[in-house]
Amino acid sequence: MPKIYSKNGKFPKRVDDYIIYRLGDDMVLREVSGFTTKALKNSPRYENSRKNASEFGRVSALCKQMRLLLVGVLPRKNNLAVCNSLTAVMRKAMVFDTVSERGERNLATAFLDERAKQLLVGYDFNPDVCLADVIRMPFCFDAVLSQVSFGKFRAGKSIVFPEGANAVGMWLHQLVFNFEDGTGVLASSDMVLFSDTATLDGLVLECKVPDADGVVFSVLEVQFYAYADGSYLPVEGKVVCVVGVR
């Protein structure tokens, strides 16, 4: 990229087919690209860009609808990262639509493929906290019984509590989402709440799947609390993880 080292007076903005602009402490020239909004909409050169933008727009809209259904479940902090992370993983899932042409691919077709469903198993909605970093013991998800079960464990050892937390609440949610029309239904289990000193012989979270058409996302929520003076105050570090998709 050519640099301009000296000139008396002001720099022109354009010289023939080159534009002049400041880059750091230097004034540089580059060839005019010819990119315009009109070209983006009509030029064959940007056909793939238009196709990508079309697919991205549809995915983003569906992800927004999913987040709205999970508004009471998802962490409130770092919302932009939660949003971007979900959109990114859904764009990866969309490649499993091998029937539609590029630009027309959609998640409804993609999730007919088991590989798309498996891609979302283990997905953490909160990119800052992973379930594997919090739950340090095996658990079982049973899609037929619609439940998550844990064996005997001691809370303070089997669960890693963030600083300041001394209690934890857990739920199982069933989100049925229709990728064709962007509608969905959410059902939730009762919360199980226990302290960091609790020892449990077993724990089962059960939630019936709503009677609706769509892909079923089974989601485990783990929220930590600081208990003091008769009140439970939420502590940062909430986990929201997909434990099953069907």
User: How far apart (Å, rounded) are the C-alpha atoms in residues 43 and 37?
Assistant: 10
Decide if 242 contacts 218 (C-beta within 8 A): yes
Q: What is the percent of the chain with per-residue pLDDT over 90, rounded to a whole number? A: 67
Give the pLDDT confidence of 3-36 residue by residue, as tens digits. Answer: 555 555 566 656 666 777 666 666 666 666 555 5
User: How far apart (Å, rounded) are the C-alpha atoms in residues 11 and 208?
Assistant: 70
Q: What is the DSSP letter of 44?
A: G
- Least confident among 50-59, 143-152, 202-211: 50-59
For 207: left if phi > 0, alpha if psi spans -120 to 50, otherwise beta; the answer is beta
Can you give the pLDDT at residue 47?
53
State pTM to two decimals.
Answer: 0.80
Can you give the pLDDT at residue 140?
96
For 243: left if phi > 0, alpha if psi spans -120 to 50, otherwise beta; the answer is alpha
Half-sphere exposure of 147 (CA within 13 A, CB side): 9
And the tokens for 183?
């509608």
Decide if 206 contacts 218 (C-beta within 8 A): no
Average pLDDT over residues 162-191: 97
Give the pLDDT confidence of 38-96 residue by residue, as tens digits. Answer: 544 555 554 555 566 778 899 999 999 999 999 999 998 878 999 999 999 999 999 99
Average pLDDT over residues 199-225: 96
And the tokens for 43?
């030029």
Model confidence at 240: pLDDT above 70: yes
In the chain, domain spans: 3-32, 42-245
Can you give the pLDDT at residue 54?
73
Model confidence at 192: pLDDT above 70: yes
And the tokens for 27?
């004034």
Can you give the pLDDT at residue 102?
87
In the chain, beta strands by DSSP E: 3-4, 14-15, 18-23, 26-31, 139-142, 147-150, 153-154, 167-178, 183-188, 192-195, 199-200, 203-206, 215-228, 231-245
Decide if 153 contacts 135 (C-beta within 8 A): no
Q: What is the percent of the chain with per-residue pLDDT over 70, rounded to a whole number? A: 80
User: How far apart (Å, rounded) are the C-alpha atoms in residues 246 and 176?
Assistant: 9
